[in-house]
Amino acid sequence: MVTTDTDSELGSVAAEAALAGAGRGRVIWTPTAADRQQSTLTMFMTWLKQSRNLSFEGYDELWRWSTTDQAEFWEAIWHYFAVEADAPYNSVMEGAGFQNTQWFTGARLNFARMVMRHEKRLADHVAISAFHEDGSHARWTWSELGTAVRRVATGFRAMGIGPGDRVAAYLPNVVEAAIGFIAAAAVGAVWSSCSPEFGAGAATDRFAQIEPKLLIATSRYDYAGRLHDRSESVRELVKGLPTLEHLVLLQDDAQNLIDHGPLLRSWSSLAATPEPTYDDFTFEPVPSDHPLWVVYTSGTSGAPKAIVHTHVGALLGAMKDLTFHLEAREGSVLLFYATPSWIVWNTVLTSLALGTHVVLYDGSPFHPDLGSLWSIAERAGATIMGVSPGFAGRMKDRGYNPAAQHDLQRLEALILSGAVAEAPLYEWLADVLPPHCRILSQAGSTEVCGGYAGGVRLLPIHAGESTARMLGMDVDSVDPEGRSLRGRAGELVISTPFPNAPRCLWKDPDGTRLAASYLSHFGGRWQQGDMIIIHSDGGCRILGRSDATINRHGVRMGTSEFYRALEDDPAITDAITVFPQAGRYRDRLMLFVTLTDGRALDEDLLATIAARISARLSPRHVPDDIFDAPAIPYTSNGKRMEVPLRHLLEGQIHAQLFGASLQHDRATADWYTAFAGEPAPDSE
């Protein structure tokens, strides 16, 4: 980036300091001849040779073509996956730059039609399995899923829900959420969801931006062996969404939950809508750039950013990533521990377009014991499983050997995503899972609606690394002046557009906020906000966030949301929160607070702070550690020093450099450097 403010300079120093720990992990998996022959990438290259007379020696050549001949590559993706459209495209790619490029102009299609296209052919096969904490589960065949989608979509239309209307969902990872999502897409509505662990305030901050016409919600859910009542949260959420015309509740016994406001009905009554026949039902044809969903991510100030993805972008991006980098295909069984708050949930459901079997789980991965999720993987016959590094780390810390406890012979790949994981964790997993199972590091984001670096079955896997940059993703590592780096830490940028990039931010008509957030620092290249090392052989290592965004368990929230959650607590005068990604505080969500005179950070206040954050944000965002600090570090121009403090706690910068931006407040600099275990910076 070209800015010269203190935070940016510290970020650059942190990147250079990261070089000391940039050694590569050992090779934990090597492809066999059979792996290369059976890879979906080999099949794709064979198809390119036969249908387009394009030949590639290996993955690197294929990747370079995909990022230099973009129109040809994405047109090939369209035809390889046999996209069904009601009207053909006039042009694959028009315009230039991330904000002005339009994809498959003239085409009219429907995402849900593609997702449900295997219904007749696979009618009696399982499309979705839904597991619960109590061990019960339900299997939905393709025929049953299709019937449910048509009924709910027809019910939506009867409510007056049509193209462009927003449907919001406050639901856990249950089959009703999946059906609601596909049905909303089928009628051309715009979907947006978050899980009920989010407090009413955090959910309202998201949904109020898009002014939904319909809300689907739950009044309660089970998690970690407890029933969580969300009735009051639903009441508050409804009050905060004045545009609502309809409320659908999962529970039949919650009809009296809302005393006034939108028209209320139960999910069971919606799902009992008379079903049109398969041939009579119409998937609403929409333009290729029609909004499909709105997902949310946060910077360090302001409300969560509402990211808009399109029917064509979300579809093509997900099918490409799932097929060529996860090796998903018809018959694959995908189990990802994710909630409807996370883009991974959307992506996994998109895999139905490939004829996969999707496994949902709405409970705790550790209830009733450490083997809960592995038991589901065994029972469902999961072939691809996705978990967070935190989940895997807990297994390692407790000495839990999943392969010794469960039959995981069908498991082809374990995906680690949502946070940075170091090489030793991958090495441990490689030792305790079947030797044929690939341990993959998938790096992606909510914004790009998928991945930018991940697995490649044609290449060996180094522990702690993504094998290569993904097809169609022109990823680079650059220094602050935008010059490419290899083997050294730099800012992750994406140099050329791709269909699954955000179409826009909601209510950002001229693109000003999008440009300021992602495109302003490197001459129009996409700045993801991550630090990355790209090695000469194409292997990539993500080092963590280059800004102050909190990314915990795959759900991202801006630090400002924490401060808003605490701002009316009379005991707290100020606060700062950080989430170190390295060092002795690694993966500890830390909150420093200053208190009113005479108030102590006792057990009662700790519990109050935790309860407030849990209720207003979510239980995932309750800090691991809360500290009473004498002051909060601010730059001389009034900006909280979140990034420098995080780097200090990670050991990425020296105390002197941290103190350099606190010359006006030496006592505060001394306290934090002493806390970090560093000698106090020299006074000058």
Give the three-class secondary structure for 431.
Answer: helix
Residue 635 predicted with pLDDT over 90: no
pTM: 0.86
Task: Report yes or no: 404 and 432 within 8 Å, Cβ to Cβ.
Answer: yes
Residue 13 predicted with pLDDT over 70: no
Cα first-last separation, the chain: 30
Residue 379 predicted with pLDDT over 90: yes
pLDDT digits over 407-430, tens only? 999 999 999 987 778 788 999 999
Task: Report yes or no: 486 and 535 within 8 Å, Cβ to Cβ.
Answer: yes
Residue 18 predicted with pLDDT over 70: no
What pLDDT score was predicted for residue 258?
59
How far apart (Å, rounded) are the C-alpha atoms in residues 48 and 584? 49
- Band (pLDDT 50/70/90 cuts) for residue 21 is very low
As a dihedral over the C-alpha atoms of residue 610, residue 613, residue 614, residue 618, rounded to 10 degrees, the angle is -140
Q: Give CA 644 to chain center in angstroms.
A: 25
Residue 64 predicted with pLDDT over 80: yes
What pLDDT score was predicted for residue 198?
87
What pLDDT score was predicted for residue 290?
98
Residue range 372-393: mean pLDDT, rounded: 94
Residue range 623-636: mean pLDDT, rounded: 89
What pLDDT score was predicted for residue 553?
67
In sign, the C-alpha dihedral spanning 296, 299, 300, 305 is negative
Percent pLDDT > 70 in the chain is 92
Task: Output the CA angle 440-182-282, nearest 5 degrees.
Answer: 135
How far apart (Å, rounded) are the C-alpha atoms in residues 159 and 72? 42
What pLDDT score was predicted for residue 499?
98
Residue 3 predicted with pLDDT over 80: no
Higher pLDDT, 495 or 198: 495
Residue range 271-278: mean pLDDT, rounded: 93
Residue 309 predicted with pLDDT over 60: yes
What pLDDT score was predicted for residue 512?
96
Q: Is 57 exposed, middle or buried (CB count within 10 Å of its CB: 0-12, 13-18, 19+)? A: exposed
Sheet holding 489-494, edge to edge: 475-478, 489-494, 526-534, 540-545
Cα R_g (the chain), whole angstroms: 25
One-letter amino acid at 200 equals A
- Band (pLDDT 50/70/90 cuts) for residue 638 is low
Lowest mean pLDDT among 207-221, 591-605, 627-641, 651-665: 651-665
What pLDDT score was predicted for residue 259?
60
What pLDDT score was predicted for residue 682?
42
Lowest mean pLDDT among 13-22, 122-131, 188-197, 314-323: 13-22
Lowest mean pLDDT among 60-74, 116-130, 255-269: 255-269
* Average of per-residue pLDDT values in the chain: 90
